[in-house]
Structure 1
Amino acid sequence: MNTHASIRRSGQPNPPAPQPVTLRQAFWYWLKLGFISFGGPAGQIALMHTELVERRRWISERRFLHALNYCMLLPGPEATQLAIYIGWLLHRTAGGIIAGALFVLPSLAILIALSWIYMAFGHVPAVAGVMYGIKPAVVAIVLAAAWRIGSRTIKNAVLAAIALAAFVSIAVLRMPFPLIVLGAALAGFAGARLSPQRFDLGGAHPGNATSYGPALIDDDTPTPAHALFSWRRLATVVLAGAALAMSAWLLLAWLFGVHSPLAQMGWFFTKAALMTFGGAYAVLPYVVQGAVDHYGWLSAPQMIDGLALGETTPGPLIMIVAFVGFVGGWTHALFGPAALPAAGAAGAAVATLFTFIPSFVFILAGGPVVESTRGNLHLTAPLTAISAAVVGVIASLAVFFGGQVFFAGGQLQPAAIVIGLAACIALFRYKIGTIPLIAACAVAGLVLSYWHG
């Protein structure tokens, strides 16, 4: 996501310095952002830049880009982590927790409602017709994601070879996703020593920043006391995060059993959270392997439907895990056949909690060491190699979804292929946004359902 390229100079005289921001004011902003953050990570980061850098000037562009560069190196949803980072920088730990929670909770509530409608009424002809049209759009969206990340990441033959190897490993050899990530990291680690220029892709540098006037946290604003590095603080945050995750998992294991779906979800989505290099699309193959193939929480067609729902709601796309948890809780009737919605909501909440705990720990613990992580090739080269592998993994996901959609039930689906091709043209040629694309394909599917019904 080349958010930096979209930033333009305002060309206006410098306004006066903004007034200090209270935690209450920040609370209402983060809550608003949680409800309007459509458009995936690029759109969400653009929203924050427009509001926090250009209009409100809570943070300077240089500091904004510096935080963004750090978040893009981490596993996890970078837009969410950026919100946590800025909230933490403004109002300490409480500010970071509020910013991250409000970025996620609205989309969780909306997805729980949509998941309930899907499970309760998914076989109604109108709903089925809408989903028939949306599924080919999802295939096109995944292909576009692979192209977008690939055009940013694969700059030479070595990185292309890593991407191809990752594709073959997961699509043909069926290797586990964590093993592919490990192999790519090792390749990058070796590459930093043998051919460092091939793994040094550069990127946005704070020196390219534009000034929109004095900011509350400006370029030369001294680092707040709470953001100064301390080994003691680092250890405290890491241990607190680990204790929270472990306590929550032990509670689930005690209430429902170690091998219960909720306890399994807690452990699985913690691992998934540590695998999300390159964004949500990168971890989806791992989620498919675990949730569909291993645990059987949902089917492959349901997984595609969940991705479609995730694309139409605000918040990070990784919130598809809430749909996975909801369907898993519902299909396993965790609380009995009379309480299926409650079981689904519990599964969605557990999946979300364990997916996002690592993101809070990464920012609250690692924020003070941001400066030491910038420009260190020995750190960034393995992540560059992982990003290249992610392209191959996402391409394999598009192939997997395409097989499910275009050959549903073992039969060729000409109408789905036509919708998929039209969606690809709309995305690649005309740069249509995700929401209008899904809406148009949903209408096409609905019309087809009535045409054949």
Structure 2
Amino acid sequence: MVAPSTRDSEAPDHPSFLEALKVWARIGLLSFGGPAGQIALMHRTLVEEKRWISERRFLHALNYCMLLPGPEAMQLATYVGWLLHGTRGGIVAGALFVLPGFLCIVVLAATYAMFQSSDVLASLFFGLKAAILAIVVEAVLRIGKRALTTPFNRLVALFAFLALFAFSVPFPVVVLSAGLAGYIAARWRPDMIATKAPIGDESAVIQDGPEDRRGAGWARAGRILLIWGGLWAAPLLLILPLAGPANVWTSIMGFFSQMAVVSFGGAYAVLAYVAQQAVETYGWLAPGEMLDGLALAETTPGPLVLVLTYVGFLAAFREAGGLDPLLSGVLGAGLATWVTFIPCFLWIFLGAPHIERLRSSPALAGALATITAAVVGVILNLAIWFALHVIFAEVGTASFGPISMPLPALETLDPLALALGIIAAMTLFLYKLGLLPTLAICGGLGLLLGALGFI
């Protein structure tokens, strides 16, 4: 039997802040594919390649982030950044996760607002969607392989998937029910959810060692609430004196602040409500424009919740008042993004120290581990939803009593989208070319099909 190498058996050196900054920037630039692909990318980079955090600590952080409103992948990056380098590490990790996507969305939203459509962009996005579909499927398989290690966890994942896909159970109900089931099982039948120690945990910078009690005091919690709550409300100090209480800016701030609190389950979970309010209540968007925004968010790096940046841009662009419309749009996008993501830092910096203390509680750890199993079902549901809308032009709903599930119109099957999806899967699974080459190949094929007149 060959002894493990020194590199495999010993933890790497703790990364410097500059080294971590470069890695967070790379993750931010490559964070395509929605939460499933983003979590898979961070797992591959932080757990497998860099070995900065153990598998168990990574999943523990993910479990907490799945309970929070807002984009779980961005919050997971903030959490791990905080573990590595404290508050400044969390700020840098979270900000760099959002910044590339924000800049892309602003540019694309400006293009969309001025030209409404672009054949080149449409062709590029057509190819990228196929690549993203394969990336999301890979993420389901990768995370499921690690989280579904017992029959109980597999059953939880199945029930979570069916609850969302067939019965339209609200996302928070699914997650809280899974946590309650895990808590009960951990107390009465711990063998049902017990898992083997993940391979490689002993060789990570951040291991599953003694509980981390730093920053768990109530005085610090008060400071965190004051600082980040103040930053959340700070735009009002400019808006109210300059524009008064009744204008597009206060509407954007109030509406998206509300979304930051209730957006459990990510962009998909709030898409229908945001579309309804933006179209019918505020008149910011025309019918169908929300799906165009989601398409932009799906094919750019960063959280899918950046679709709210697109809505903020169009709202301010179309109600610019005395400002230049483009400048107004950029300011509206920045305001919507600010009030959407500042609360994410609040949730992490306020809660993460206390969540770290809970790692020594078997019952609570069991609850969080079971939530991870439910998350696999959640991501599978999102993957199927996304696949149906990529491959079919029309997707309706089939209802049978309490059962209500998406049903594609088979005659609207897009053979080109299906073919590109197969090519993306072969590139990723068969030839193992990786994320960036898969995106490049599919994006290039989309542009070629557009140039030949097939799209």
Superposition TM-score tier, normalisation by shorter sequence:
0.7 to 0.9
Query: Is the aligned partner of 1:383 residue 2:368?
Result: yes
Q: Percent identity?
A: 27
**What does 1:127-138 correspond to in 2, within 5 Å?**
127-138=121-132
Q: Indicate how the Cα distance of structure 1 residues 99 and 154 shifts in structure 2: closer, same or farther if over 3 A, else same.
A: closer
**Does 2:316 match 1:336?**
no
The 3 A distance-change label for structure 1 pair 183 and 131 is same
1:44–1:112 CA distance, 2 compared to 1 (3 A): farther
Question: Residue 397 of structure 2 corresponds to which residue in structure 1?
Answer: none
User: Does structure 1 residue 10 correspond to structure 2 residue 4?
Assistant: no
Q: Aligned-pair distance for 1:114?
A: 4.2
Deviation of the 1:164 alpha carbon: 2.2
Partner in structure 2 of residue 83 of structure 1: 81
Q: Is the 8 A contact 2:124 2:446 kept in 1?
A: yes
Report the Cα distance in structure 2 between the residues aligned to 1:258 and 1:106, rounded to whole angstroms: 24
Identify the residue that residue 237 of structure 1 maps to in structure 2: 224
Counterpart pick for 1:142 among 102, 120, 136: 136
- How do 1:51-450 and structure 2 match up within 5 A? 68=58, 71-75=61-65, 76-77=72-73, 78-88=76-86, 93=87, 96-97=90-91, 100-102=94-96, 104-117=98-111, 119-120=113-114, 123-204=117-198, 208-209=202-203, 227=214, 229-245=216-232, 254=245, 256=247, 260-272=251-263, 275=264, 283-292=266-275, 295=278, 298-310=289-301, 317-318=302-303, 320-330=304-314, 333=317, 335-336=319-320, 339-366=324-351, 368-369=353-354, 372-408=357-393, 411-450=412-451
Q: Quote how far apart the aligned CAs of 1:95 are.
A: 5.8
**Structure 1 259/187 Cα, relative in aligned 2: closer, same or farther at 3 Å?**
farther
Matched position secondary structure for 1:137: helix
Q: Judging changes above 3 Å, is the alpha-carbon distance between structure 1 residues 142 and 65 closer, same or farther for their aligned structure 2 residues?
A: closer
Deviation string 1:100-150 (CA, Å, 9 cap, x unpaired) is 445544553344334434554562222211111122222222222222221
Q: How far, CA to CA, are the matches of 1:345 and 1:186 in structure 2?
A: 43
**Structure 2 CA distance for aligned equivalents of residues 29 and 357 of structure 1:** 25
Q: CA, structure 1 residues 244+141, in 2 after alignment: closer, same or farther (shift >3 Å)?
A: same
Cα distance in structure 2, aligned partners of 1:295 and 1:9: 57
- Structure 2 segments unaligned to the other structure (5+ residues): 32-37, 66-71, 280-284, 395-408
1:378 CA drift (Å): 1.6
Query: Residues 386, 247 of structure 1: CA spacing in aligned structure 2 closer, same or farther, 3 A cutoff?
Result: farther
Please state how far the C-alpha of 1:167 moved relative to its aligned partner: 2.0
Are the equivalent residues in 1 in contact too, given 2:78–2:90 (CA < 8 A)? no
Aligned residue for 2:167, secondary structure, equals coil
Does the C-alpha gap of structure 1 residues 294 and 218 become closer, same or farther in structure 2, counting only changes over 3 Å? closer
One-letter amino acid of the structure 2 residue matched with residue 416 of structure 1: A
CA contact (8 A) 2:144 2:376 kept: yes
- Give the secondary-structure state (helix, strand or coil) at the position aligned to 2:84: helix
Specify the code of the residue in structure 1 equivalent to 2:61. Answer: C
Secondary structure at the aligned position of 2:169 is classed as coil
Per-residue deviation, residues 187-245 of structure 1 (Å, max 9, x unmatched) = 2222223322222335548961268xxxxx9999xx9xx94643322343245434543
* Count of residue pairs the alignment pairs up: 405
Report the CA distance between 1:416 and its aligned residue.
Answer: 0.6
Report what 2:400 is aligned to. none
TM-score norm. by structure 2 comes to 0.72
1:64-118 per-residue CA deviation (whole Å, 9 max, x = no partner) reads 7786465334213322321233222xxxx45654564455445533443344345
Distance 2:88 2:150 in 1: 43
